[in-house]
Structures are given as structure tokens and as C-alpha cells.
A and B are shown apart, each in its own frame.
Chain A
Amino acid sequence: MSSLMEAFNAKALDLGVPLSAHLDVTYRCNERCVHCYLDHDDHGEMTFAEIKDVLDQLADAGVFFLTLSGGEVLMRMDFMDILKYARRLRFAVKVKTNGFMIRDKHAALFHRLGVQTVQISIYSHRPEVHDAITKLPGSLKRSIAAIRLLKSHGVAVIIANVLMRPNFNDYTSVKELGKSLGVPVVTDPTITPKMDGDRSLLGLGIHGPQLGAAFHDTELVGNVDEFCAVPSPADESVLDGIACSAGHTYCYISPYGDVYPCVQFPMPCGNVRSQKFLDIWRNSAQMNEVRSIRTRDLPTCSACTHAGTCTRCPGLAFMEGNMRGPSSLDCEKSFARTGIPSANMINRQSLPVAVAIAGSARGSVSGLVQISAARN
């Protein structure tokens, strides 16, 4: 992060300004990705007029960085009008799309409007893997064509590569694909439960030796020694720190106007159809409770070896039943990085299993990869 960006974040935190917001304009989608956490039916999306009003309110509240996502944004016929309006309000806009429906006119307008980046998900370089994940035949071909089209118009594109069991073997080739397209690839092994709390999707995620292998791959994490370093004991600044920007300088708004601390933190704080955004942001009891939590307030995690370096997501902890509790997925990541079990893992007496995995990690990786490939 640039020092200027850090300064903006610190100032926004100090002033209580929501510097960033994520607005899903629809949950409808033309793809049916196996790992998607959304219900794709339309339960009453905000109209264009309502979204314009929300954008006005977000601008007045000080939101600068705006992510427009879905669902698939282009499932809304008025999406380009929403985008134009957002840019008229001078937001720095990122768009997330699968690219399937992007045509020349969209790419040209993305460029003219100065969209910061367009993020497109690519799960594999192989159509049989990518299209099996999206359940939309021809989707890889169309998404790659969209990337090329956007690039030809001078639009900055990012490939998002969600890493899971069905595509674990392919992330290196996706990186190469990105390189050939002149596009950076961001790989993320995070699979989240459905918005309704259904955790069945988590089985698609990579765990144990696969996760360990990914976290020890220079191509994915850069400096492995640094990324996987044994954590230092948490000092006072860590214990007084906050988990992330959720509810502090960032929030999420659903297509139905519900406001949440984060897209990955489904705790309803209010609805912009019945309340002003700033009223929710400033006065929601839920938002203020999220804001009040410091690392030292976390009964298990404050005493954990990983407290200073853990990627603990309060939203995932919330979905596990307690936003002050551990996020098991992040415990698993800390363990995969360092080989040191978290306080939560020790409390749950999962240590023997974890140690067994760690001890045989190198030998097991290739075997699991082959199993994964066979399943594809």
C-alpha cells in the first residue's frame, strides 16, 4: 500500500469516514459458480433511481473508492447508466464482472469513463475446468475475449483466481495466461459460506497440505520466508488494533439496500430504503459494536501466537457464530503458513491431526494434487 493510501486510510479512520464501499447492483448472474455464496433470484433489487440516491449519499458521506459488483453487473440493463452516474460523482470505480456479456461498446465506455480496474474471474486456463466451475459452457472463451477487448481499449484489467480443489492444479497456468494477456492475476484461496450461513461450500476450499503448498509457493506469495515467518508475540499496538477496515472505513450495500460492515460480514446494520446511509453508518448499534472491538477483546485470539499476523476475518468469525471468536479458516491459514497451531486449534484439540498434516506435508502434496486432478 502506498504511503499516501495509508495516510488516507488513517485519516478516514480518525474522522469516521467510509472511504470505501462495495455495492452489489444485482445478485442475478448468468453463471452458476459452484462456490458462489449468493442466492441469484431477484428479491426486489433497488431501482436505478434508488441506486442513484444511494450513490449521492455515499459521495456525501465521503466514499471515494467504490466497487460495483454482483451477481453479474451486466445482468442489469441499466448498469452502464449506474456506472456513468458513479463516475459523474467522481468515485474511483472498480467493476467486478465475469466479462461474458462485455461488448465493444462496454469496453469503450469503461475506458472513456476512466474506470480504475475491471476484475474478471478466471478459474482455469482449461475450458473443461473453468466452465465446469461456472456451469456456463463457453464462459472461459468469452471471459478471455472480454479481457482482450478491454485491454485493446486501454482498460486496466485484473484476473481474480479463486483457488479451490477443482482448479488447484491450474493456478500456475492461470498466472501464465495473465502474463500473456498483460494482466495481473490475484489468487485467493478463500471460500466463504453462503449468505444464509450454509457452510457446505467450504468443502470446495483447499485445506491442509494443499493450502500449505500454496502458501509456500514463491509465485503466489512472493517472499516465502517473510510470508511464512514465525509470528512475534503480540505487543500493545497489536492488542489495541482492529481486525480490518470492515465497519471502520469500509462497508457493503446489497442490491436490496441492506448495509453490512463488509461483503463478507452478513450482519444487517440497516437499510437505505428506510434510513439515510449516514444514519446507519454513524448510529447503527451493530456497526458501532463492530467498531468497538479491539484484538485484546477477542477471548481466544488475543492470547494466540498468531494474533499479530493472523488474517482473521471478523465476518467469517461472525458466520461461525461469534464475531469476537476465531475464524477457523484463518486459523487454518496461519497454521498452513507457519506450522504452528492457533489457540483455537489447540482449544479444539485438533492439534494431533494438524501436526500429522504438517509432518507429512511435502510428501502428501503431490498425492492430493493427483486426487484433485482425477476429480476434475
Chain B
Amino acid sequence: MTASRELGGEMMIMSAVNSTLFTLNEVASLIWKSADGATSLQEIVEKKVCAQFDVEPSVALADAERLVSELAEHGLMIIADHPVEEMFEAEHNS
């Protein structure tokens, strides 16, 4: 489970695996904050990213997919084809 905090519009993230620090820009931070385990990436891009930034939905989605893949490679995000909202709670309640 990662540690994260927003600082002046940018998200700071620390990997729980090796304490490596990452930073996300404003758009990536928005995607990170919106990743609640229930909302699809497409919905996040359409309803959040495209609503706040002047960007073509297809371009934004392609960029967002690259971002989450990279985050997943570092173990910072889980990509799933089903809601994973219970995982965080399960982690804590065990």
C-alpha cells in the first residue's frame, strides 16, 4: 500500500515496496485521486480529466492508460477488470 499526499497540486507517492518516491503532475494527480477502485479509467478520463483540461478524450485516454500501466509496473496501482474497492479495507481489517 502506497503513501501519498498532494503538495501544491502535485501528488507525492512513496512505494511501500522500496520507499521510492514518485511525483505526479496535475493531470496524473487527478487520475490518481479519482482511482477509487470502482470507477473505470474511461469514466475518470471522460468525467474528470476532459472536464477540467482541454484535451481530446481519445488522446487523454491513451495517455491515462500509459500512466496507469507505468504506475502498476511500480506496484503503485492495481489494474483490474472488476471493482477493487474492498481491497483497501480488507488490507486494514485483516
A interface, CB within 8 angstroms of B:
2, 4-5, 7-8, 11-12, 14-15, 17, 19, 59, 62-64, 84, 87-88, 90-93, 112-114, 116-117, 156
Contact = CB atoms under 8 A, between A and B. Distances in A.
A15 B7 contact: yes
B7 A87 contact: no
A110 to B, nearest CB: 11
Contacts of A12: 7
Given A11-B7, A15-B7, A15-B8, 12 more contacts: A4-B21, A5-B21, A8-B7, A14-B8, A19-B7, A62-B5, A84-B92, A91-B3, A92-B14, A93-B3, A113-B91, A114-B2
B17 to A, nearest CB: 8
B16 interface: yes
Interface string B4-40: 1111101010101001011100000000000000000
B3 A64 contact: yes
Nearest to A84: B92
Nearest to B3: A92
Given A4-B21, A8-B21, A62 B7 contact: yes
A116 B17 CA distance: 9
A62 B12 CA distance: 11
A116 B14 contact: yes
Nearest to A108: B94
Nearest to B1: A114
Interface residues of B, number: 20
Residue among A5, A64, A113 with the highest chain B CB neighbour number at 10 A: A64
27 contacts: A2-B21, A5-B21, A8-B21, A15-B7, A17-B7, A62-B5, A62-B7, A64-B4, A64-B7, A64-B14, A87-B3, A87-B92, A88-B92, A90-B2, A90-B3, A90-B4, A91-B3, A92-B3, A92-B14, A93-B3, A112-B1, A112-B91, A112-B94, A113-B1, A114-B2, A116-B14, A116-B19
Contacts of A87: 1, 3, 92
B51 to A, nearest CB: 25
A119 B10 CA distance: 29
A7 B21 CA distance: 11
Contacts of A14: 8
B19 A64 contact: no
A62 B8 CA distance: 9
Given A11-B8, A84-B92, A87-B92, A114 B21 contact: no
List the 8 closest pairs (A to B, CB-CB), nearest first.
A114-B16, A92-B3, A64-B5, A114-B1, A92-B14, A4-B21, A90-B4, A84-B92
Given A5-B21, A114-B16, A116-B19, A59 B5 contact: yes
Nearest to B93: A84
A317 to B, nearest CB: 30
B7 A116 contact: no
A14 B2 CA distance: 25
A31 B88 CA distance: 35
A64 B12 contact: yes
Contacts of A88: 88, 92
Contacts of A116: 3, 14, 16, 19
Contacts of B16: 114, 116
A226 B23 CA distance: 32
Most buried by A among B3, B10, B16, B88: B3
Contacts of A156: 19
Choose among A2, A8, A17 the residue with the greatest number of B CB atoms under 10 Å from its CB.
A8
B28 to A, nearest CB: 15
Contacts of B94: 112
Contacts of B22: 4
A251 to B, nearest CB: 15
Contacts of A19: 7
B91 A4 contact: no
A88 B21 CA distance: 18
A63 B5 CA distance: 8
Contacts of A5: 21
Nearest to B14: A92
A87 B4 CA distance: 10
